[in-house]
Amino acid sequence: MSKALKTLFGVHAVVAVVFGLPLLIIPGRLLMWVGWAPIDPIAGRLLGAAMLALAWSSFRGWQATDRARVAILVEMEAVYCVLACVGLLRHLLIARYPWFPWFVFAIYLVFALAWIYFLVKKE
């Protein structure tokens, strides 16, 4: 595995924990602080749990040395980030949202492009 892919796994794990843990513990307050409320706290907690699960898979990808295991993780991360971008963009283009959802979209887009790059590169 290349150093760049290993770094991507590490960065993704950290970012997913930074956003996922507060969403799991205090979804309403977190989203209110950034101007993206009201939101169903159950949906927020489920998103937080999913992000923490992805952080775990990124950590495992960071540790992995087996090419087959890494390929599966890169593919899964790419699919998740692309679907998150599609879902967010659908709402962002229809309604007026504050800056934070656009910021989240940008983060997902950067990760989606990076994962796709490594998926195509087959590294």
Q: What is the mean pLDDT of residues 79-103?
A: 90
Supply the range of the domain harboring residue 94: 3-121
Contact indicator for 35, 98 with CB cutoff of 8 Å: yes
**Separation between Cα atoms, residue 12 and residue 58, nearest integer Å:** 6
Write the DSSP symbol of residue 95. Answer: S
Contact indicator for 55, 22 with CB cutoff of 8 Å: no
What's the confidence (pLDDT) of residue 1? 80
Q: Which residue has the tokens 């799991």?
A: 24
Structural domain total, the chain: 1
Q: Which residue has the tokens 């990760």?
A: 111
Please, how many CA atoms are within 13 Å of residue 29, restricted to the half-sphere of its CB?
A: 5
What's the confidence (pLDDT) of residue 67? 86
- The pTM of the full predicted model, rounded to 2 decimals, is 0.86
